[in-house]
Structure 1
């Protein structure tokens, strides 16, 4: 067989194209494509160019596949970047991936690099640039006839836009990709996940009732058409919708259903994160259930440690500190709070604020008011770079309450309350008190 034959057939099948589809896209006779794939004939330079263009890959990849220097260099960069992210150095990971020549790669490997690069940028808080890379990945996957991967990239893009506070754009982008991919990926786990992420964007925008109705309709469709993982993903997102709607018990029910659907296998990637979300919700419902929260954290501990994600481990330590404080375990809560702050390190704004807030609570209960105030001020500094929206508003409200409890200045407390209102887009006549 000609060395190109197997790679050509594999690339065509990954694109979801028939031989006739590829022949039309490359302006060739179907029998010629058949002969190429069977190794009866070998393509010339012009044919290689047309085939590569139709498949969204490079001529180099068709000729050399994964042995090409560009492919091997990009794969090494991805591996190194993942190691850097796990060790708490996402900035270095982003720099590693920025040097990769995407134009020398096929659509699958270029998308893989873009997704890893976006993840690293997200970890350092560069959400706008991460969104740009995710949009590029979604475009490449769509044009390269990879609808399932396009849906995955689009879901991450919607989440990045939501976290960046670009809520209307998040909704518009999600609806656009949903409509574009419905005909080729309808009913798949990836498309159901995309729509469920879109539902959360509606929640963040304040359309909570609409999100709840649409989320329940989505769950009914997932139960009819989707895989177990798809049903679990929809339950997972519906938990946040119900929580935003003030239905804490319903939110807990969805998270438990999500866990039950995936079987509770601790080796499953989603399971430890589900348990972590469940633990956090258990300490936020009324009345809180800190013992149950600690049990969920204990069940997720090993899998989280194996994942080596500093952010997830810091979040687990934060929730553990809050649960321990509720149980009167002040010394243990202080230890967990210190661990959370150490793990989160500098530069992580979203989880960093929560970690410093939990540490401040433990310090305040321990009678260390000055140290607590310092922790709360650090939490406020992390919140200052968060985009506007419900999460930022809730964070500012909590910090304002804590600054007041710790005895901070009236100006600082009033400013924090004002930021909470501003994060929701509310106009206020609240002004800082004049100095006397």
Structure 2
């Protein structure tokens, strides 16, 4: 029962009096009047058959006696939830969030976890990462208490790891991701789809932090398990994140081969949004190939962008528009690149996210290409600082390296040197220890 007996008893008493019945009338010979009195006073919890009998004689429903709400009211709230979920699925995240917040204010205990899960996804879609993470923590705690949730514990742990990485908190993402993997293995779930997906997400976190050696080792283990045990989705996810690591190590050929495998595996099984994310990754890799392949990247990014406009959140859209800006830049259209990069940054306004630094970086490069050297270099400098402050060490190091070249080309050796120093900081290279003062050299006396 979802309510205390005293609350149930109060409802029984109120309905009995409303209908002009005595306790003996309500008992009707099936139970005693004194038993009805004990129920109404909260000193006795009735058995389910007695609740059904009382509901029938009082002309109400069992649901009302137990919860204070009848089936119609419950159905109305469930319908509100379904409409909110439908809005979320169709990209109307603001509408979905507002509907769900209204539902939470109604305090429906039966729908609390379904509502919170949908609300968490709406917050994610709107870029409200802190609120999404708060919702995830509540859901994870509920799952560990044994509550019945619309989603399992492992997908929740995976989502938390991913959101922390997207916010630039790679250290926390890795810490919690490793804890989750340990828990998975303790439960004997190693090799399951959920474990493979969680490990794949952790690979991306190590990649984001610039720890390529660990990322590659973990990616190799994940792919091996996925090949033996995983579904097409799990294998595709493993190949997907392994491609990021391989690209960062400079092997573009293998990276493209891995992402081709991921596309083939996930095209049949995965959701439209996840497939669009994979196309975005493929386009991202093609634009970083040597030489870049904007012609091949263009249709992939256009397909992904069309899906994200309909179904996805501001983060996915911003990521895609950053790469579309890069595409315009590589295609010799810096003005269009500037407009697209500004659009991406606008979607991320007010958010602390690695993607904001990436978008600003492309904006700066496009401004330099458009002849606005000083302003462009300033944007690039700010972007490199943002990436470094968020812990994206590999990307920050690459940015500082390119900035050093920009400063050198434009005759600013002091700033070029500072950029190289910043690049070394990203690699945790310690500054040199000052040497002790040495005696001046004196000429050696010779005898003739």
Q: Same fold (TM over 0.5)?
A: yes
User: 2: CA distance between counterparts of 1:65 and 1:421?
Assistant: 65
Give 2:322's aligned residue. 318
User: 2: CA distance between counterparts of 1:184 and 1:97?
Assistant: 40
Give the deviation of 1:288 after TM superposition.
1.8
User: 2: CA distance between counterparts of 1:109 and 1:303?
Assistant: 25
Pick the aligned partner of 1:115 from 89, 101, 120. 120
Give the deviation of 1:230 after TM superposition.
1.5
Pick the aligned partner of 2:332 from 322, 328, 337. 328
1:303 counterpart = 2:310: no
Give the deviation of 1:197 after TM superposition.
1.5
1:231 counterpart = 2:235: yes
User: 2: CA distance between counterparts of 1:189 and 1:61?
Assistant: 41
Give 2:137's aligned residue. 135
1:427 counterpart = 2:415: no
Give 1:152's aligned residue. 155
SS in 2 for 1:159: helix
Give 1:67's aligned residue. 74
User: 1: CA distance between counterparts of 2:372 and 2:171?
Assistant: 43
Q: Contact 1:337 / 1:358 at 8 angstroms: preserved in 2? A: yes
Cα distance change on mapping 1:84 and 1:154 into 2, 3 Å: same
Q: Unpaired runs of 5+ in structure 2?
A: 4-46, 53-65, 435-448
User: 2: CA distance between counterparts of 1:205 and 1:302?
Assistant: 30
Normalised to the residue count of structure 2, the TM-score between the two structures is 0.66
Q: Contact 1:310 / 1:343 at 8 angstroms: preserved in 2? A: yes
Give the deviation of 1:327 after TM superposition.
3.2
Give the deviation of 1:379 after TM superposition.
2.8
SS in 2 for 1:263: helix
Cα distance change on mapping 1:69 and 1:171 into 2, 3 Å: same
Cα distance change on mapping 1:428 and 1:60 into 2, 3 Å: farther
Q: Contact 1:297 / 1:316 at 8 angstroms: preserved in 2? A: yes
Give the deviation of 1:365 after TM superposition.
1.9
Give 2:260's aligned residue. 256
Give the deviation of 1:206 after TM superposition.
5.5
Cα distance change on mapping 1:165 and 1:302 into 2, 3 Å: closer
Normalised to the residue count of structure 1, the TM-score between the two structures is 0.67
Superposition pairs for residues 210-229 of structure 1, below 5 Å? Answer: 210-229=214-233
Give 2:370's aligned residue. 366
User: 1: CA distance between counterparts of 2:395 and 2:68?
Assistant: 44
Q: Deviations over 1:109-133 (max 9, x none)?
A: 2650563376268x3565xx75554
Q: Contact 2:233 / 2:266 at 8 angstroms: preserved in 1? A: yes
Pick the aligned partner of 2:360 from 331, 356, 375. 356
Q: Contact 2:219 / 2:242 at 8 angstroms: preserved in 1? A: yes
Greater relative CO (CA pairs within 8 A, separation 6+): 2
Give the deviation of 1:276 after TM superposition.
0.8
Pick the aligned partner of 1:240 from 244, 247, 252. 244
Q: CA RMSD in A?
A: 4.7
User: 1: CA distance between counterparts of 2:211 and 2:384?
Assistant: 27
Superposition pairs for residues 352-431 of structure 1, below 5 Å? Answer: 352-380=356-384, 382-383=386-387, 385-387=389-391, 389-402=393-406, 405=409, 410=414, 415-428=418-431
